Amino acid sequence: MFGFGAFWRWRKTEAGREATDRWLLQLPLVGPFVVAQTVLSFSQTLGVLLANGITAAEALRMTEKQIANRVHRRAFNEATGRVLEGEALSSSLARTQCFPDLVLDRLAVGENTGNVVPSLRDIARNYQKIVTNQLNVFTKVIASGVLLAVFVLVGFIAFSIVAAVFKVSASFQLG
């Protein structure tokens, strides 16, 4: 219990949060989910802000605050700095190596055609579906695991009752 408390307090520090966020990105099922959530958050927020007339610099700063994963947030911050120096958003995000290539390609197409907001909306729509599907799979796996655990528990209880009945009946036959 002490170890868990110490871990939780360490995780609340900036270094602990970044280390655990980096660790989460390396987990097989959780990592792709975290990346999908980051892409969804980034594309939705930036798309809405740019569509409503917020300047690109301010929109990028505000979008950065919406990214929950500290590793992705730091990478987005670095990319924002490069964008403010004149680099394209897609190429500056590509340097971070935190975002999927397909997202970067679609963003680059939007930048080259002058349709960044529709590209961001399209990315957000697709990643909303991806996140929803991943959550559905997680829910089904957890529900199946809980159901299996309940079946095992009920089976154990039934076995214990039957074994006790046989033990009691065997003691009556001997006496």
Which candidate, 130, 89, 128, places its Cα nearest to that of 106?
Answer: 89
Give the pLDDT score at 174. Answer: 58
CATH architecture of 2-129: Up-down Bundle (1.20)
Residue extents of the structural domains in the chain: 2-129
Is pLDDT at 175 greater than 60 in this prediction? Answer: no
pLDDT in tens, 69-127: 999 999 999 999 999 999 999 999 999 988 999 999 999 999 999 899 999 999 999 99
Give the pLDDT score at 167. Answer: 87
pLDDT in tens, 26-78: 998 899 999 999 999 999 999 999 999 999 999 999 999 999 999 999 999 99
